[in-house]
């Protein structure tokens, strides 16, 4: 696969696993995240034979996103595949107690960052009549759960944005896919619980969650389908996760 693949949030979890998987598939990689030292380590791990361009980028910063895409070296500029993966959940408090700063941060990263990156690559993809945007949504965008409030809503936005992109791109060869994973063990819960490793660990205790590699395999698969095939969305869970019954509150007595 001789593609130029740009992955946001490549410093850990799904993003880093996607980098490893696309490196194995023979792609040129543009890896972006805020923690440059983690990206440097990943580049070293991938080895000198894998063409990698690193970008220190906070996707919440619109100017920085525009500058980063405009400043890509010539041999990395014509991005074939953008994996919009950078994202986070912050907190699990009920809406009436949740932090507005956390809500801002999730909207700024999961939604605004994702649309800035998408808008930066789309004109080139349409002009070349070639390209694929893979968004990392979540089951949380499809199914409500207590404390999911704004995080789930940001992922519902990603789902609808992905569908609307397809509507706009009809008549071009540019593809759009929304991947909607359930519980997967990455740094996700450590970030959600603001560094509380024990609380994060308890999320996965006694289960066999998805691995980052599972999600990366799916991203590689959807992008390696023939050009006539657009996988619109894939919802994927660990076999240890399923839906609960609708909740009913009953008065005492």
- Residues carrying an active site annotation: 151
Phi and psi based region of residue 219 (left: phi greater than 0; alpha: psi -120 to 50; beta: remaining): alpha
Task: Select the residue interacting with ligand NDP from 186, 200, 218, 223 (CB under 6 A).
Answer: 186
Q: Which does 88 bind (CB under 5 to 8 A by kind): ligand NDP, ligand 8X3, none?
A: ligand NDP
Q: Are 214 and 240 a contacting pair, CB within 8 Å?
A: no
**Ranges assigned E (strand) in the chain:** 4-8, 28-33, 52-56, 81-84, 132-136, 175-181, 233-236
**Choice from 30, 179, 183, 222 touching ligand 8X3 (CB under 6 A):** 183
**Between helices 13-24 and 36-46, what is the axis angle to 10°?**
30
Place of tokens 């509507």: 167
- The smaller minimum CB distance to ligand NDP, of residues 61 and 172, is found at 61
Half-sphere exposure (CA, 13 Å, Cβ side) for 211? Answer: 4
Please list every residue from 116 through 145 that binds ligand 8X3, using CB under 6 A: 138-140
Closest to ligand NDP by CB, 11 or 130: 11
Q: How far is residue 194's CA from residue 90's CA, in Å, rounded to a whole number?
A: 7
Q: Which residue is nearest to ligand 8X3 (CB)?
A: 138
Give the footprint of ligand NDP on residues 187-246 (CB under 6 A). 187-188, 191, 212
Residue 13 sits in the site that holds ligand NDP (CB under 6 A): yes
Query: What does the binding site for ligand NDP look like in residue numbers (CB under 6 A)?
Result: 8-15, 33-35, 38, 57-60, 85-88, 109, 113, 136, 138, 181, 183-184, 186-188, 191, 212
| Footprint on this chain of ligand 8X3 (rule: CB under 6 A) | 138-140, 148, 182-183
């Amino acid at each position: 696969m001789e593609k130029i693949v740009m992955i946001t949030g490549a410093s850990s979890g799904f993003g880093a696993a996607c980098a490893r998987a696309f490196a194995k598939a023979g792609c040129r990689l543009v890896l972006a995240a805020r923690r440059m030292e983690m990206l440097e380590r990943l580049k070293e791990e991938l080895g000198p034979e894998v063409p990698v361009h690193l970008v220190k980028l906070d996707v919440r910063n619109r100017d920085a996103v525009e500058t980063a895409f405009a400043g890509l070296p010539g041999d990395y500029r014509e991005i074939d595949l953008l994996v919009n993966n950078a994202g986070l959940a912050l907190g699990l408090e009920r809406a009436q107690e949740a932090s507005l700063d956390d809500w801002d941060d999730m909207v700024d990263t999961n939604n605004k960052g994702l649309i800035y990156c998408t808008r930066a690559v789309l004109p080139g993809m349409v002009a070349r009549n070639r390209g694929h945007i893979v968004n990392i949504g979540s089951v949380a965008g499809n199914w409500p759960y207590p404390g999911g409030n704004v995080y789930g809503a940001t992922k519902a936005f990603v789902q609808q944005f992905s569908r609307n992109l397809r509507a706009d791109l009809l008549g071009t060869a540019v593809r759009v896919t929304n991947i909607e994973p359930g519980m997967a063990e990455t740094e996700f819960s450590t970030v959600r619980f603001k560094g509380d490793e024990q609380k994060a660990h308890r999320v996965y205790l006694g289960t066999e969650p998805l691995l980052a590699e599972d999600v990366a395999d799916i991203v590689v698969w959807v992008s390696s389908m023939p050009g006539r095939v657009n996988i619109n969305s894939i919802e994927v869970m660990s076999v240890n996760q399923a839906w609960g019954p609708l909740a009913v509150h009953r008065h005492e007595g």
